[in-house]
Amino acid sequence: MTNSNLSKIRPKLRTTGRVSGNFGRNKVVSGSPINDLGITKVEVVKCATQDEYLARLWYAFDNTDDDKLRLFLHQEIRKIHIQRGTW
């Protein structure tokens, strides 16, 4: 592995994509768009209540055939019921 250049490869820097320059942002390494996560232009954001989330989990649990999804849904449903003391 002493002859390999794999450790020397660096990702390219990207700007905001504007032709005239990158106003307001430094050059950033290309990567995940997670930096924009949670940014919204709406004034009111309505999050689902725990009861609505639990109803969605039960609906998905009843309507799926995927074993991995059913396992995840069961764990989430169980977690909520344990928090509430109803399990």
Task: Judge whether 66 lies within some domain.
Answer: yes
Q: CB of 78 within 8 A of CB of 61?
A: no
Domain of residue 32 covers 6-36
Distance of alpha carbon 82 from alpha carbon 71, whole angstroms: 16
Q: Which of 29-33, 36-40, 68-72 has the lowest mean pLDDT?
A: 29-33
Task: Judge whether 1 lies within some domain.
Answer: no
Average pLDDT over residues 2-18: 62
Task: Judge whether 43 lies within some domain.
Answer: no
Q: What is the pLDDT of residue 75?
A: 97
Could you give the C-alpha distances from 69 to 6, 18, 19, 43, 54, in angstroms and in order?
37, 42, 45, 34, 15
Task: Judge whether 44 lies within some domain.
Answer: no
Domains in the chain: how many in total? 2
Q: What is the pLDDT of residue 58?
A: 97
Residue 7 has pLDDT above 90, yes or no: no
Q: What is the pLDDT of residue 41?
A: 81
Task: Judge whether 68 lies within some domain.
Answer: yes
Residue 14 has pLDDT above 80, yes or no: no
